[in-house]
Structure 1
Amino acid sequence: MFDEGRPMAVPPPPDDALSYEGLERLFASLNQASGIVAAVSGGPDSTALMHLLALWRAAGLRPPVLVATIDHGLRPDAVEEAAFVASEAGALGLPHRTIAWMGDKPATGIQEAAREARYRLLADHAHAAGASHLVTAHTLDDQAETVMMRLARGSGLSGLAGMRRETERHGLVHVRPLLGWPKARLLDLCRSQGWRFVEDPSNANALYARVRWRGLMPLLAAEGLDATRLARFAERVARAEEALDLKAQEALERAGLSGEGSPLAFDGSILASEPFEIALRVLEQALIGAGLGLENSRLNRIEAGVERLREALGAGEPLSFTVAGALVRLDRAGRVTIRPEPPRRRGR
């Protein structure tokens, strides 16, 4: 369904978002980019982002902005929507490309699989075009939903910090300039400015977890737990996360970390002498330092690994176990060695 975005009697944005100064603040971190890929689906959020980027680019000498739409191959309307975005981008003088997610689709976990495929395809396109930055239209409401979903899954502090405004992804700088903007504000902006957009019916499909959480948000807001407070909570968690990671890094350095990549070793006594949360982060940082990716690792398994190491250290006994794709060994001298788990043992 297409919304023509005709001007309506809605209040203007509460600040100078469309002024030169407002656009400069919004996209300040993009000035040094070699190129920018903007992910645009055609919905009001990403449509507003595309128009704001076009206004910003027209106001001065800017890096090239490339618009990309991912066709996940999950809805027949996606082809028409991608063509709509291509037309709108062309009218703004922005090059556009539709990228199809090819191959078989999983029977379960389709949203997560689609998300991973989307970022991979966007990154491939950006690298091929020589772009250094990826921009997406995540909003304040998206942040609140993400925090609640991760809380329900039992995430640790890292997950509850929500999405970062800037992060590294597939060798790109991933920027979310609208992370502090409510969706309603972007919708009003599109309609007041006459920016056309599309309505994605999957956003109302209760089969998807995020849609179900979106339906619960008004009930939470009525009790005071609105998007603004959840986003503020995520900011505070992110600050605590940063401080704890720094303390864990200092502890790992004191533990005499040796080796670059695999194998990696350090004095395991630091795991027993530090508070549990710091010990947990020491092991996580060591695993990452050994070249292991923790994106799909369950926090409770790493927590259990720290508990086992602390118990073995207290008893003066050696220990060997696998976690997050790594083989972790504690010898009788109390030294921990980490290397990738041998393929023949993976999954045991």
Structure 2
Amino acid sequence: MTAVPPSDSDWSGDVLDRLFSSLGNAGGIVAAVSGGPDSIALMHLLARWRAAAPRPRILVATVDHGLRPDSADEAAFVAREAGALGLPHRTLAWTGDKPRTGLQEAAREARYRLLVHQAREEGASHLVTAHTQDDQAETVLMRMARGSGLAGLAGMRAERDRDGVRHARPLLTCSKTSLVRLCEGQGWRYVDDPSNRNEAFARVRWRGIMPALAAEGLTAERLARLAERLAQADEALDAKAREALSLAGAAGDGDGIVLEAGRLAEEPFEIALRMLTAMLERSGARLEASRLHRIEACTRRLREAIRAGEELRATVAGQLVRLDPSGRLTVRPEPPRRRGVRPMSYP
């Protein structure tokens, strides 16, 4: 059920209980706070929520990426603000060489790696970030431009697992504007990150396009609603694919996964695609959105081969996919390559 975003004037205890309902039984919370208005609002709201009743302990964590001269001062600012609220704080530094290309993606991966590690160190079950409705809308547009599938267009989930730590985004129904107004109305200080205006970054460019799209009716709220509906459809299709895998007798086979392939040709294409994707993941593949077209192509070839009673051997995402003459499909890690021998890759 869609959570109703609070109005600018209503941030009452009932609203906070609804926003943070999934955190009540958490075994400790790490709140990621950069110092911008969204995360500062999150920190204050969490402190207000915790003060109203017995709640899980909260640690505020700031990742210092070391990419700007002011980043250390901003982390120190967050530490002071957290201390004033009675919340402990840790600064997590991203050290080492930084890439010249793909910097934002690398910074994102480093940020979550550091935050998850800190959560484990603290014995915390949950990581909380301040992603907003606007962030969700930008994510949907960016993934649409990359040709993402249904799962990608479903955007960021309100909750997901990150290596055993539950990542919650309780402010996904809140607009960035409402959080800025809240900070200003309450006198909560925040910092302005100049990288949020740097058009060298794709997300900033998409953010600049949003007002023109909103003028045509494609608002952040409608994009976020689209993501929610697609997430519901994605969940239903995943359930159907799991059922189809079970009916096909999918089971572990040493270091791989095996099933009777006939069902993969009988199911609708989207279900067959998800069956193969699940087999690849169970066999140890770490899949990226960029590989979707390759998995789609392999699924088509498999369905053709199954119907024709042919054999097929291919490699996808480091996994060996083999259909034998009996109609048995096996997916297992690709063996080490010998010098001068290169297995057929698909596509």
TM-score when scaled to structure 2? 0.94
| Whole-angstrom CA distance in 2 between matches of 1:162 and 1:197 | 27
Is the 8 Å Cα contact of residues 8 and 181 (structure 2) preserved in structure 1? no
Instruction: Give the corresponding residue for 2:139.
Output: 146
Of residues 57, 61, 67 in structure 1, which corresponds to 2:50?
57
Instruction: Give the corresponding residue for 2:77.
Output: 84
Of residues 253, 263, 276 in structure 2, which corresponds to 1:270?
263
| Whole-angstrom CA distance in 2 between matches of 1:346 and 1:195 | 60
Please tell me whether residue 16 in structure 1 is matched to residue 14 in structure 2.
Answer: no
Instruction: Give the corresponding residue for 1:171.
Output: 164
Instruction: Give the corresponding residue for 1:7.
Output: none
Paired residue secondary structure (1:34): coil
Instruction: Give the corresponding residue for 1:214.
Output: 207
The AA in structure 1 aligned to 2:292 is: L
Instruction: Give the corresponding residue for 2:3.
Output: none
Instruction: Give the corresponding residue for 1:291.
Output: 284
Question: Structure 1 residues 69 and 336 mapped into 2: Cα distance closer, same or farther (>3 Å)?
Answer: same
The AA in structure 1 aligned to 2:149 is: G
Instruction: Give the corresponding residue for 1:67.
Output: 60
The AA in structure 1 aligned to 2:226 is: F
Paired residue secondary structure (1:336): strand
Cα deviation 1:87-139 (Å, max 9, x = unaligned)? 10010000001111011111111101110110000000000010000000000
Question: Structure 1 residues 343 and 252 mapped into 2: Cα distance closer, same or farther (>3 Å)?
Answer: same
Please tell me whether residue 279 in structure 1 is matched to residue 272 in structure 2.
Answer: yes
Instruction: Name structure 2 gaps, 5 residues minimum.
Output: 1-5
Paired residue secondary structure (2:10): coil
Is the 8 Å Cα contact of residues 261 and 289 (structure 1) preserved in structure 2? no
Is the 8 Å Cα contact of residues 261 and 291 (structure 1) preserved in structure 2? no
Instruction: Give the corresponding residue for 1:6.
Output: none
Instruction: Give the corresponding residue for 2:114.
Output: 121
Question: Structure 1 residues 161 and 128 mapped into 2: Cα distance closer, same or farther (>3 Å)?
Answer: same
| Whole-angstrom CA distance in 2 between matches of 1:299 and 1:341 | 19
Please tell me whether residue 136 in structure 1 is matched to residue 129 in structure 2.
Answer: yes
Matches within 5 A, 1:35-50: 35-50=28-43
Shift in Å, 1:340: 1.1
TM-score when scaled to structure 1? 0.93
Instruction: Give the corresponding residue for 1:160.
Output: 153
Aligned residues: CA RMSD: 1.6
Shift in Å, 1:314: 2.2
Instruction: Give the corresponding residue for 2:244.
Output: 251
Is the 8 Å Cα contact of residues 326 and 341 (structure 1) preserved in structure 2? yes
The AA in structure 2 aligned to 1:271 is: L
Cα deviation 1:58-109 (Å, max 9, x = unaligned)? 1111111000000111111101100100010010000001111011111111
Aligned length: 336
Shift in Å, 1:182: 0.4
Shift in Å, 1:259: 1.2
Instruction: Name structure 1 gaps, 5 residues minimum.
Output: 1-11
| Whole-angstrom CA distance in 1 between matches of 2:289 and 2:136 | 20
| Whole-angstrom CA distance in 2 between matches of 1:151 and 1:296 | 11
Shift in Å, 1:289: 2.0
Paired residue secondary structure (2:252): coil
Cα deviation 1:21-73 (Å, max 9, x = unaligned)? 22111111111111100000000000000000010111111111000000111
Is the 8 Å Cα contact of residues 13 and 189 (structure 1) preserved in structure 2? no
The AA in structure 2 aligned to 1:35 is: G
Is the 8 Å Cα contact of residues 152 and 289 (structure 2) preserved in structure 1? no
| Whole-angstrom CA distance in 1 between matches of 2:112 and 2:253 | 29
| Whole-angstrom CA distance in 2 between matches of 1:82 and 1:279 | 48
Is the 8 Å Cα contact of residues 43 and 197 (structure 1) preserved in structure 2? yes
Paired residue secondary structure (2:170): coil
Of residues 90, 95, 99 in structure 1, which corresponds to 2:92?
99
Is the 8 Å Cα contact of residues 311 and 324 (structure 2) preserved in structure 1? yes
